[in-house]
Amino acid sequence: MIRLARVGARKQPYYRIVVIEKDRARNGRSIEVVGTYNPRTNPASVSLKHERIEHWRGVGAQLSPTVAKLLEKHPAGTAVVG
């Protein structure tokens, strides 16, 4: 599964977009980090490795609803914000 893993200090969220087994804890050991998301900047900054995300989706990884929305807003070929 491709989902968010929270890092950062208390009340200062920062997220890594990770490939992880579905049954693991939110911040458990991930297989690979494929991007980052910082909602605290204006506008929110998103950095994605689209080629690695497509690789993992081709192997059968599913997207979480939040990551699906981020990919929809920031498709491959667009400039990185932030």
Q: What secondary structure, in 3-state letters, does the chain show?
A: CEEEEEECCCCCCEEEEEECCCCCCCCCCCCEEEEEEECCCCCCEEEECHHHHHHHHHHCCCECHHHHHHHHHCCCCCCCEC
pLDDT recorded at residue 63: 94
pTM score: 0.84
Q: Which residues contact 56 (CB under 8 A, 6 or more apart)?
A: 2, 19, 32, 34
- CA-to-CA distance for 44 and 57, rounded, in angstroms? 24
Task: For residue range 17-74, list pLDDT tens digits in order.
Answer: 999 998 888 788 889 999 999 999 999 999 999 999 999 999 999 999 999 999 999 8
The full set of domain ranges for the chain reads 2-73
Q: What is the pLDDT of residue 28?
A: 80
**The listed CATH number (3.30.750.24, 3.20.20.70, 3.40.190.10, 3.30.1320.10) that belongs to domain 2-73:** 3.30.1320.10
